[in-house]
Amino acid sequence: MTKILVIEDEQAIRLNLLKLLSAEGFETLGADNGDYGVELAQNEKPDLIICDILMPGLDGYGVLIALQQDLITATIPFIFLTANVDCSDVRHGMKLGADDYLTKPFTKAELLETITVRLQKQMLLRERYNLELKRTEALMEYLLRYDRLTNLPNRFLLQERFNQLVEKTDTTSQQIAILSLGLEQINQLNHTLGPASGDVLLQAVAERLLSRVGTQNTVTQVSGDQFVILLAKTERQEIAKMAKTLLDAFSFPFHLGTHEILLTAKIGIAVFGYDGRDLNTLIKHASAAREETKQPGKQPYQFYISAIGAKSEDALLLEMQLRQALERQEFQLYYQPKVNLLTGQIEGAEALVRWLHPERGLVSPAEFIPLAEKTGLILPLGEWVLRAACKQVRVWQEAGFPPLRVAVNLSGHQFNQPNLAPLVMKILNETGLDPSCLELELTESTLMKNPQAAIATLHELKSFGIRISIDDFGTGYSSLSYLTQFPFDVLKIDRSFVCQLVEDDKNTAITTAILQMARSLNLKVVAEGVETPGQLAFLQGQQCDEIQGYWFSPPLSADTFKEFLSTGKRLPLSNSEL
């Protein structure tokens, strides 16, 4: 039953309206003042509100302003009652968000017609929103199981297919195998040629692997330089034959523009039942066998044996050095500018941690961050990053630069520690940074491990004035309807959507849907990984709020970022400036 709230201080008018509407089959609620009307609207969530303008205390304009502050009540159709027909009053109400006016006195027919029109329009809006939501969820459902860059099945789908094969295993002669294939030059090529060229190369690698494995098997990319192949039930000799086939696939070069790139592949193999019975163990053992191929005299593919499972001396040494790195001040923060697409000005930066190893040079975060997570060192490292970033922004402010907002990533371990909010406030107080200058970035997967606890923690952080950003949006998808309950301020579109934005119609549709959904939820949107004029032009046309990426600037050291600010560099805002 449609529920209508009437807010009217004159008792006779209010009672007559309630009686008339009840007779027409509506469920009715009545309030004799503005404050009570706001309370009823927030608690009861009516389908439509009829409100007098001139009331003692909180008037009708005040009621509408109060309801516009709430995401849910702001969408309720709102009709003003007034005895004043002044056009300026009408415009003022419409500007505040009113949907329609009824001028006293009015007839029953006028009242019912106005209500019917408003409810029908609201129904159409809801249908359009639901359709958009379904389309977005369908896209996200695809992304839940496939990688956006290579279109390969991801780890989630790999697990599903592995479980299905295990359930159907009925003979011992046929075996399920996991192959871990590594390409040692990928990370170096990304650094040399840039992320965009690296992505094109990965797509070419994926196509070549798919052409060799057949439709019964599954190829998955689990990291930038590692692929996992799930072989359906087969003989051990066939497993070795497949490994050789995959290695032969890299015997001729990839053509990337004017470059000819020859990649060297190494493969480790683990067999279900012999080397483990769950997917994680098999991948770990296959990866260990792959590392064994790097030893002198070893062939480029290797079956796992138990002796390989022990930690290598290098891995143990790196872990020990990581524990000492904080004390030795070997970590540095780099800052990638975040640019407002409306003004072209730098509004903030994302803080990114780097490890400058005294012997190895820069160690990739992809190598030491998982190790820090595994050993628990991510907590002191994360605290150092947060404190150093806040302190650096204060240094820039004291140097006379405009207020900047620094974004800091929180890992799952950091976010779930019980004293997170007090720790963050302690750091802000120590550094003297205003909370409004801090933005905390979290991934969907981190939040969905314990949604109710996460929501409570986020509300506590937001109460300090800190902004909350959902990072890598779409890469850890669970439930769009659930995500709307989190108190986010910012949604970051992952670079995997942006990288092929202009060339790939699917990525274009996904990005457009995300931007539309974010606007409906009153979220600011930041697109990361912007590297081409075409990507920038598209995002400007779609009214994205901010961008970051190599098109404007790579991550910079603190000193270089300061020099960057001093130049007053801004983003081109028209095609003629690109």
Q: How far apart are CA 387 and CA 393, in angstroms?
A: 10
Do 381 and 465 lie in one domain? The reply is yes
* Whole-prediction pTM: 0.55
Any alpha helices (H) in 464-557, and if so which ranges?
A: 480-483, 495-498, 505-520, 533-541
Indicate the residue among 290, 306, 322 that finishes a domain: 306
Indicate the residue among 141, 167, 184 that finishes a domain: 141
Q: Going residue by residue through the chain (578 aa), what tens digit of pLDDT does each one get?
A: 889 999 999 999 999 999 999 999 999 999 999 999 999 999 999 999 999 998 999 999 999 999 988 878 888 999 999 886 677 777 788 888 888 888 888 889 999 999 999 888 888 888 887 788 788 777 777 777 888 788 899 888 999 999 988 887 655 456 899 999 998 777 667 666 777 888 888 899 999 999 999 888 999 988 777 899 999 877 888 899 999 999 999 999 988 888 888 888 999 999 988 888 899 989 989 988 898 888 777 889 999 886 555 444 566 677 788 888 988 999 999 999 999 999 999 999 999 999 999 888 888 888 888 888 877 889 999 999 999 999 999 999 999 998 899 999 998 889 988 889 999 999 999 999 999 999 999 987 788 777 888 899 999 999 999 999 998 776 555 456 556 788 899 999 888 888 878 777 887 888 888 888 888 888 999 999 999 999 999 999 889 999 999 999 999 999 999 998 998 888 776 554 55
Please report how the helices 186-193 and 195-213 are oriented relative to each other, as an axis angle in degrees rounded to 10: 140
Do 458 and 553 lie in one domain? The reply is yes
Do 43 and 14 lie in one domain? The reply is yes
Indicate the residue among 141, 173, 196 that finishes a domain: 141
Domain at 344, CATH number: 3.20.20.450
Asked whether residue 115 is assigned to any structural domain, the reply reads: yes
Do 292 and 394 lie in one domain? The reply is no
Do 164 and 133 lie in one domain? The reply is no
Q: How far apart are CA 55 and CA 10, in angstroms?
A: 9
Asked whether residue 324 is assigned to any structural domain, the reply reads: no
Asked whether residue 319 is assigned to any structural domain, the reply reads: no
Do 346 and 480 lie in one domain? The reply is yes
Residues 490/468, Cβ–Cβ less than 8 Å:
yes
Total structural domains in the chain?
Answer: 3
Do 369 and 301 lie in one domain? The reply is no
Domain at 241, CATH number: 3.30.70.270
Asked whether residue 532 is assigned to any structural domain, the reply reads: yes
Distances in whole angstroms, Cα of residue 371 to Cα of each of 212, 360, 538 = 33, 16, 38
Asked whether residue 478 is assigned to any structural domain, the reply reads: yes
Name the nearest CA neighbour of 71 among 499, 486, 571.
486
Asked whether residue 461 is assigned to any structural domain, the reply reads: yes
Asked whether residue 130 is assigned to any structural domain, the reply reads: yes
Do 133 and 58 lie in one domain? The reply is yes
Asked whether residue 575 is assigned to any structural domain, the reply reads: no
Domain at 131, CATH number: 3.40.50.2300
Q: What is the largest CA-CA distance in the chain?
A: 97
- Residue 38, CA atoms < 13 Å, CB-side half-sphere: 16
User: Which two structure tokens, joined as six digits, stand for 163?
Assistant: 């479980």
Segment 44-89, tens digit of pLDDT: 999 999 999 989 999 999 999 999 888 788 889 999 998 866 777 7
Q: How far apart are CA 88 and CA 84, in angstroms?
A: 10
Segment 465-487, tens digit of pLDDT: 999 999 877 655 545 655 678 88
Q: How far apart are CA 288 and CA 144, in angstroms?
A: 27
Do 486 and 387 lie in one domain? The reply is yes
Do 125 and 193 lie in one domain? The reply is no
Residues 6+ apart with CB under 8 A from 410: 382, 420, 440, 441, 442, 446
Do 253 and 347 lie in one domain? The reply is no
- Provide the domain limits for residue 435: 330-567
Report the 10 Å Cβ neighbour count for 93.
22
Do 166 and 134 lie in one domain? The reply is no
